[in-house]
Structure 1
Amino acid sequence: MAEPHPNPAAARLRTLLARPGLVMMPCCFDALSARLIEQAGFELTFLSGFAASASRIGAPDLGLMSYGEVRDQARNVLEGIAIPMMVDGDTGYGNAMNVMRTVEGFARAGCAGVMIEDQVAPKRCGHTQGKAVVDREEAYDRIRAAIEARGRADIVIKARTDARRTHGLAEAIRRAQTFAELGAEMIFVEEPLSEEEMRTICAEVPGAQVANMLEGGQTPILPPARLEALGFKVAAYPLAALSAAMRGMVATLEALREGRDHTPGLMDFADLRQRLGFDAYYEAETRYARKE
């Protein structure tokens, strides 16, 4: 078999997963949010489906975004950062053949990893109402297809199960165990309801376990040191950046509408320019102007 299409970002992600300690993964929704995550010193980000749907089409995460839209969003984000980024592949956007195309496409776009889940399409945010999962064999086939695609274009496979809510913890663990046996490197059991359930998942499921720290969701929000002690390898913060941005914008716009001073919550203009790269651009512009 030919060697898979190389992907340096996947190699960097595997290096992060192999070293000791918890990997913090704030999630982005566009190039700007990803750049701020990188500037804050984080070494990994994830293009959240929830946040990307809100940012790109102004709609809830209910399976409305297409594969092409998500891949385009991922490419835009990757152009603005140097750290590896994972991406939400939802259910793979169809059958096993679609899953393969999805996984290979994200790998060739430069994504470090892709998440494939076992929800019924169209999927829903893991902590909202109305979600359901496919049967075991269909769930396993999605991961088998993802692993096969990884053989053509290298990428880290993150397998997710949402079976905890509808089928109970034991079924979710069984699915997660099989995902790991099939070759998924990262495992995500969505919506454990207690710290004890989180401990059980880490004890019984192999692979790099992901904790989803969704503020206001069903899973307890624990400090990083506690997550690491339980056995988690990655802590994802899917909506922290989006929620903070939305709250700030709403407050500023309300102040403008009401005629109040809206400036206290704003970033200093000099800091804004520096973070966006104006200073670096001007420095390079001056350097090349001298040569000319």
Structure 2
Amino acid sequence: MSPATRLRARLESGKLLVTPSCGDALTARLIERTGFEAMFMSGFAVSASRIGAPDAGLISYGEMRDAVRDICAATRLPVMADGDTGYGNAMNVRRTVTGYMRAGAAAVMVEDQVAPKRCGHTRGKLVVDRVEAVDRIRAAADARAEEGRDVLIIARTDARHAHGLDEALARAEAFHAAGADILFVEAPHSEEEMRRICGELPGWKMANMVEGGATPILPQEILAEIGYAHAAYPLTLMAAAMQAMEQALEALRHDRPPMGLMPFAALRERVGFEDYYAAEQRYSDRREP
């Protein structure tokens, strides 16, 4: 089965799908190695790791598509990829979804923010009007149909921030009618709002667990009980990695041995040297003495 078909079947099981998020191919390898069933490609993480800039609409479609390609090439797991606003109007959305599909994405997320967009838990978010927002999802569904692939469409709305939860719910319901598979109402402020999202909307719903963000971080069993089908953790790995790197850098700057380093042998294995050596033996009669 294709990654998209496997992802759809996994969601149909009814069990909460938990996806750590990656911003590069190495992180994707680690997520797969740890035993997760899918992953999310975070635009925040890609922007930070690829161009060293905030998730504020600075990274381009081409850079994001290349990140999708590199990540999908590094893992066999389904990759749910952040398509931001689609990088323009409905025609740009079609191109974005098509490009992501051809790069290997199992799901593509499209949102209703104006361009340049913002991280969903930071200041300055604005959304396009509801008609344009729905047109983006219709364009994504059309691109999927024309490409003939079983990619899933994640429809995200950030309307809760400026227009309230009722408007966000209305948009999400319209997105479902336009062809979205997974509905993502960003930044609910309470468990009560999260319960409304799951209780009033059709189809699969996605929870975004941003540590320190506007949405409460609930245990996974509670997210499942509320009715979420998918829980993404977009910044957990990047926050852990950056904290560890800064601590190591401080130790080096003060001539102290960094603590908590992964052993070199384990590092080589995570990067893939052992797999490389095993494959290399097929093409050479030479052996190590």
Q: TM-score range by the shorter chain?
A: over 0.9
Whether 1:34 aligns to 2:33 is no
- 2:108 maps to 114
Aligned-partner Cα distance in 2 for 1:283–1:116: 40
Q: Where do 5+ consecutive residues of structure 1 fail to align?
A: 1-6
- 1:280 maps to 275
Aligned-partner Cα distance in 1 for 2:276–2:85: 40
- 2:73 maps to 79
Aligned-pair CA distance for 1:288: 3.7
Aligned-pair CA distance for 1:289: 2.7
Describe how 1:1-292 pairs up with structure 2 within 5 A. Answer: 8-153=2-147, 154=149, 155-262=151-258, 264-290=259-285
Aligned-pair CA distance for 1:10: 1.4
Deviation per residue, 1:188-244 (Å, 9 max, x gap): 000000001000100001111000000000000011101000000000000011111
Aligned-partner Cα distance in 2 for 1:142–1:280: 42
AA in 2 matched with 1:247: Q
AA in 2 matched with 1:233: A
Deviation per residue, 1:114-146 (Å, 9 max, x gap): 000000111000000001111110101111111
Deviation per residue, 1:243-292 (Å, 9 max, x gap): 11101100000000011121x22101111111111112222323443499
Q: Where do 5+ consecutive residues of structure 2 fail to align?
A: none
Aligned-partner Cα distance in 1 for 2:182–2:266: 37
Q: Percent identity?
A: 60
When normalised by structure 1's length, the TM-score is 0.95
Aligned-partner Cα distance in 2 for 1:106–1:284: 29
Aligned-partner Cα distance in 2 for 1:191–1:224: 17
Deviation per residue, 1:1-36 (Å, 9 max, x gap): xxxxxx922111111111121000101000000100
When normalised by structure 2's length, the TM-score is 0.96
Aligned-partner Cα distance in 1 for 2:79–2:154: 13
Count of residues in correspondence between the two structures: 285
For the residue of structure 1 that corresponds to 2:146, the secondary structure is: coil
